[in-house]
Amino acid sequence: MLAYPQLMTIVENIALAPLTTLQVGGAARYFAEARREDDVREAVDFAKTRNVPLFVLGGGSNLVVADSGWPGLVLRVAIGGVAAESSGAAVLLTVGAGHDWDALVAQAVGQNCAGIECLSGIPGSVGGTPVQNVGAYGQEVAETIESVYAFDTKEGGSVVLPNLACRFRYRSSIFNSEERDRYIILRVTYRLRRDGEATLKYADLHKHFAESKTVPSLSAVREAVLRIRRAKGMLLVPGDADSRSAGSFFKNPVLTSSQFEEIAARAASRDLLIPSYPALDAQHKISAAWLVEHSGFSKGFRLGAAGISSKHALALVNTGNVRASDIVRLKESIQQRVQSEWGIVLEPEPVFIGF
């Protein structure tokens, strides 16, 4: 155990698998938990001084750790706190990066603040939400993020990045693309609608409330989302083997009109209709789960010790005693078959470290 410098404790050879929802992978050479902004600065200095790589760990819900582990420092940002500020008809919530995401959603819904109710039940911490522009059931955090407060490892100081500077796209931002590894997120500010109506864009939500004669409340939508996620194995439930996953393992492909016409023709030649949804710039988002299932991988499929959830084709699960290499082998098998069958390269959603 190392003290650096008399403020933050850094421990050695810490197992990372228990800190992830997939529960695979080796150990971190060094591990520290940051509860203050100064802790983050010290961790960055520690990694630079020892010339070891630094990885920032959130809730561990979207992560695959290599069997060999991580050769440098893993920093878990545990900065908490929620501060509320009124801004006209809106409420600004500034939240520590280590705060539990679903707890924040529950708090917002409880205070009748709309904008993130459809993102209920997503595991992980607040700091991870801007990185991949977390989205589900008709909402994305990009729609509500006002700004991101982060430590800039390149310049050595803290910065405020307004929404536009984050360059949010589908499952993407500067934090996981052009500026990957530069910023360590400390706090996020969300702009929510006070007494706003719930978002009902997602087909399953429409179906759920089809017979309702009134606009459903935010709490009713949250409960519906939680039920849907549970039915699909996308809710962390103790004892449920389908919960040992990294969530949706592949992104839904976004295609140009010509690409979509080509794949739709392939589907039609097999008397199939591929589900699609409108996307930005007249593009088409298609279902990755549909592609997986129509490439020979059914729910409950097993390849060695790794498997596909019995409830959702996009979740790769740890069936017990699984190695990271088993998960990667299944991932690659699915990608190869989907590309062969449909001409589409599926992009994984989780972050892979140590590979």
Cβ-based neighbours of 55, under 8 Å, separated by 6 or more: 28, 70, 72, 73, 74, 75, 353
**Which phi-psi region, left, alpha or beta, contains residue 294 (left: φ > 0; alpha: ψ -120 to 50)?**
alpha
Residue 76 near residue 9, CB atoms below 8 Å: no
Instruction: Indicate if 349 belongs to the active site.
Output: yes
- With contact defined as beta carbons under 8 Å apart, do 232 and 202 qualify? no
Residues whose CB falls within 8 Å of the CB of residue 24, separated by 6 or more in sequence, listed in order = 17, 64, 65, 67, 318, 322, 323, 324, 326, 327
Give CA separation, 317 vs 134, 165, 225, in Å.
20, 35, 21
Dig out the tokens for 326 from the structure: 């088993």
> Is 257 an active-site residue?
no
Which is the catalytic residue, given 76, 171, 187, 222?
171
Is 248 tagged catalytic? Answer: yes
- Asked whether 245 and 309 are in contact (CB, 8 A), the reply is yes
What lies within 8 Å, CB to CB, of 114 at 6+ separation is: 108, 192, 193, 195, 196, 197, 198, 199, 218
Quick one: 257 exposed, middle or buried, by C-beta within 10 A (0-12, 13-18, 19+)? exposed
Catalytic residue among 61, 172, 248, 295: 248
Give me the active site residues, please. Answer: 171, 248, 349
